[in-house]
Amino acid sequence: MMVRSASAASPTVMKACLALLVIVATITSLSCIHGASASTKALKYTQVNNIIVIMLENWSYDGLFGTYSKGNGIAKASSEAKTQLDDNDQAYSTLPQVQAGLPQNISNGPFDLAQYFGLNAKTMDVTHAFYTHQYQMNGGKMNKYVPYSAAKGLVMSYYDLVGQGHYMAQLAQNYTLFDYWFQGAFGGSMLNHQWLITPGCPYFPNPPSSMVNSISGTTGKIIYPEKAITPDNYVVNTAYSVNKPYPVTMPPLANLVPSQNTTTIGDLLTSAGISWKWYSGGYNDAMNGTQDSSWQAHHQPFVFFKNYEVGTEGRNHLKDETDLFNDLKNNQLPSVSFYKPLGKDNMHPGYSTVGGSSEEKLKQVIEAVQASKYWNNSMIFITFDEYGGRWDHVAPPKVDKWGPGSRIPTIAVSPLVKKANVNSVYHDTTSIMKFIQDRFGLPSISTRDAAQNPLDDIFQPIVQPSVVTSSAIFQPSVITSSASTLSILTFTALISFLFAFITF
Ligand SMILES: *[C@@H]1O[C@H](CO)[C@@H](O)[C@H](O)[C@H]1NC(C)=O
Ligand SMILES: *[C@@H]1O[C@H](CO)[C@@H](O)[C@H](O)[C@H]1NC(C)=O
Ligand SMILES: *[C@@H]1O[C@H](CO)[C@@H](O)[C@H](O)[C@H]1NC(C)=O
Ligand SMILES: *[C@@H]1O[C@H](CO)[C@@H](O)[C@H](O)[C@H]1NC(C)=O
Ligand SMILES: *[C@@H]1O[C@H](CO)[C@@H](O)[C@H](O)[C@H]1NC(C)=O
Ligand SMILES: CC(=O)N[C@@H]1CO[C@H](CO)[C@@H](O)[C@@H]1O
């Protein structure tokens, strides 16, 4: 502004003004350099206008990315973690198999499933539940997955997703993949969808006793079969809300979880006046009572909460997948979007595949964002709810009694993130709410998200403060280090000052 209005003045006055401006800019930038980390961090976050979170289903990190040489994969697993023990703590000679089509002579250890089943094949669902998961990890040795799974040796299988050229693997290679990112809580899908929106478990006062686990006094473990609720009434395994839309198969009414009243990330966004939506494949049909057979009501975390009951203001935030594509097309994407594909498109073993319609749906969404006006300032997180019962070799850090559980694949896709990058800082599902909080200046909800590591280290090096770069005097491109900023500025200021002085 100042530079432009000066154009009417005499050249001498203009040069003097320019010189003065440069000096001011230099001093300003010097003070910025002193406070560099804080201001640069804030700048990184404010580049992001739209956050899009895509949650897929039931695969561990090693299950999909264990062969990617840039990350901490299967090649780095200890033989203790690779060698599965049976009920009597003896190593299996070969993996016992119950999946039709898998031979009984596969060696005890991870194996490439593509030798038997391609990416478009459906294999059985694999046991994964809150307590069982902890027993499988065996105090961090990661060697009891097979005896604690109904799918037996199948849990040791993986796909070489990078080698297969899968679309998601390309994204992982092109943008930032996390190789030390864990599911927020132990166990399965219901709970980890909850942990995406709030760091805590649903509470069910006075639940039916048939739903409550009891702990054996002798082993200290649960008495099988594993049920949905802890002895102190927290819902940790699959259960359904009293609120619509209901599951395909309706459980007894007494088993439905009452509306929850704890704070979610949605509540924080709403209070701050920041737009957001949760989009799901199959939502409209499910609300109409014509659910797709692969509709999963327990993958709809907001539905469990009082603020999002049918008829509330909050319910307007819950939308169908078709609305996501329309909002992108019509330039109406909210600041924060969550996207949950329908069961058949979510990569979940048993009713979905890693290739086929799941891969295609992911591609459609990413390409729709890339084609929209939002892409340049967007941050897309592709993550998984949980490990799906599959082996992973990395023991999670011990944080609290709920988790975190196994490593899951997570990818940050954005023109703003480092390219071909692998991030190895500890993160879990709650890192996504942490990112949303950091971007929009929202408070944390509990100690878990409060203590979570920030994600500012995934950004590419950034252009320095706009007070410097918007000046018409110099057009620095990307300045990556404070040292070079300082020397360029000082040099330019000296030359300008000298030049102005001579002209006087
Ligand atoms: C398992 O047995 C089959 C048939 O005898 C053989 O072709 C295959 O190589 C064996 N696989 C392993 C991993 O030993
Ligand atoms: C990843 O980058 C490669 C090389 O630039 C490109 O050919 C490929 O289309 C990209 N894929 C995706 C999904 O971004
Ligand atoms: C929230 O739910 C809990 C558990 O059901 C209940 O004890 C508490 O009174 C509720 N709080 C509010 C403010 O409704
Ligand atoms: C219900 O069905 C109608 C007709 O297919 C559709 O227009 C509507 O969006 C559906 N969903 C809801 C929530 O009403
Ligand atoms: C996004 O950035 C690219 C490259 O900097 C630029 O060419 C394009 O115009 C930008 N798109 C929008 C919608 O701003
Ligand atoms: C269970 C499973 O393997 N598949 C998905 C993923 O997890 C949830 C619960 O853990 C299942 O209900 C869902 O079918």
Closest ligand, as measured to the CA of 115: 1
Residue 147 pLDDT grade (very low, low, confident, very high; cuts 50, 70, 90): very high
Establish if 266 belongs to a structural domain: yes
Give the pLDDT mean for 59-80. 97
Please choose from 55, 56, 58, 226 the residue to mutate so as to test ligand 6's pocket, defined by most ligand atoms within 8 A of CB: 58
Give the pLDDT mean for 376-393. 96
Instruction: Quickly tell me which residue has 């003004």 as its tokens.
Output: 17
H-helix or E-strand spanning residue 22 = helix 11-34
The pTM is what?
0.84
**For the residues of 71-137, what is the DSSP string, one character each?**
SS-GGG--HHHHS-B-TTSPBPSB--B-STT--TT-BSS-EEGGGTS-TT---------HHHHHHHH
Give the residues surrounding ligand 1 with Cβ less than 6 Å away. 103, 105-107
DSSP category for residue 96: -
The residue nearest atom 10 of ligand 4, judged by CA position, is 284
The verdict on whether omega for the bond into residue 301 sits within 30 degrees of 0, i.e. cis, is no
- CA–CA gap between residue 405 and residue 192 (Å, rounded): 10
Establish if 388 belongs to a structural domain: yes
Establish if 144 belongs to a structural domain: yes
Decide: helix, strand or coil at residue 258. Answer: coil
Decide: helix, strand or coil at residue 151. Answer: coil
Q: Answer whether 97's CB lies under 8 Å from 104's CB.
A: yes
Q: Answer whether 51's CB lies under 8 Å from 337's CB.
A: yes
Handedness of CA 114, 117, 123, 126 (dihedral sign): negative
Q: With pLDDT > 90 as the criterion, what percentage of the chain qualifies?
A: 75
User: In 3D, which of 132, 80, 306, 329 has the Cα closest to residue 236?
Assistant: 132
Max Cα–Cα distance, the chain, nearest Å:
93
Q: Answer whether 388's CB lies under 8 Å from 59's CB.
A: yes
Q: What is the pLDDT of residue 352?
A: 53
> CB count, 10 Å around CB of 171?
19
> Which is higher by pLDDT, 489 or 289?
289
Distance 370 CA to ligand 5 centre (A): 11
Q: What is the pLDDT of residue 119?
A: 85
Angle at 406 between CA 280 and CA 240, to 5 degrees: 40
- CA–CA gap between residue 125 and residue 349 (Å, rounded): 5
Which atom of ligand 6 lies at the shortest distance from residue 57's CA? 6
Establish if 201 belongs to a structural domain: yes
H-helix or E-strand spanning residue 192 = helix 189-197
Establish if 67 belongs to a structural domain: yes
Q: Answer whether 462's CB lies under 8 Å from 43's CB.
A: yes
> Which is higher by pLDDT, 499 or 388?
388
The residue nearest atom 5 of ligand 4, judged by CA position, is 285
User: In 3D, which of 228, 226, 316 has the Cα closest to residue 266?
Assistant: 316
Q: Which residues pair with 340 in a beta bridge?
A: 280
Q: 298-350: per-residue pLDDT in tens?
A: 999 999 999 999 999 999 999 999 999 999 999 999 999 999 998 777 665 55
Q: Which residues pair with 427 in a beta bridge?
A: 181
- CA–CA gap between residue 256 and residue 273 (Å, rounded): 32
User: In 3D, which of 226, 140, 236 has the Cα closest to residue 188?
Assistant: 236
Q: 197-240: per-residue pLDDT in tens?
A: 999 999 999 999 999 999 999 999 999 999 999 999 999 999 99
Tell me which residue range forms the domain holding 383: 46-458
Establish if 466 belongs to a structural domain: no
Query: Which CATH number characterizes residue 101's domain?
Result: 3.40.720.10
Residue 16 pLDDT grade (very low, low, confident, very high; cuts 50, 70, 90): very low
Decide: helix, strand or coil at residue 229. Answer: strand
Q: 159-187: per-residue pLDDT in tens?
A: 999 999 999 999 999 999 999 999 999 99
Distance 198 CA to ligand 4 centre (A): 29
Q: Answer whether 430's CB lies under 8 Å from 403's CB.
A: no
Distance 349 CA to ligand 6 centre (A): 9
**Burial group, residue 236, by CB count within 10 angstroms (0-12, 13-18, 19+):** buried
Q: Answer whether 390's CB lies under 8 Å from 383's CB.
A: no
Establish if 482 belongs to a structural domain: no
- CA–CA gap between residue 17 and residue 269 (Å, rounded): 45
Establish if 330 belongs to a structural domain: yes
Torsion angles phi and psi, residue 336, rounded to 5: -125, 130
Distance 261 CA to ligand 3 centre (A): 6
Q: Average pLDDT over the chain, rounded to whole?
A: 86
- CA–CA gap between residue 439 and residue 377 (Å, rounded): 12
Per DSSP bridges, beta strands 276-280 and 181-182 are: unpaired
CB of 376 within 6 A of ligand 5: the answer is yes
Domain count, the chain: 1
- CA–CA gap between residue 434 and residue 456 (Å, rounded): 11
Residue 41 pLDDT grade (very low, low, confident, very high; cuts 50, 70, 90): confident
Structure-token pair, residue 44 = 């990184």
Q: Which residues pair with 94 in a beta bridge?
A: 107
Helices H, strands E: what count in the chain?
16, 12
Give the pLDDT mean for 440-445. 98
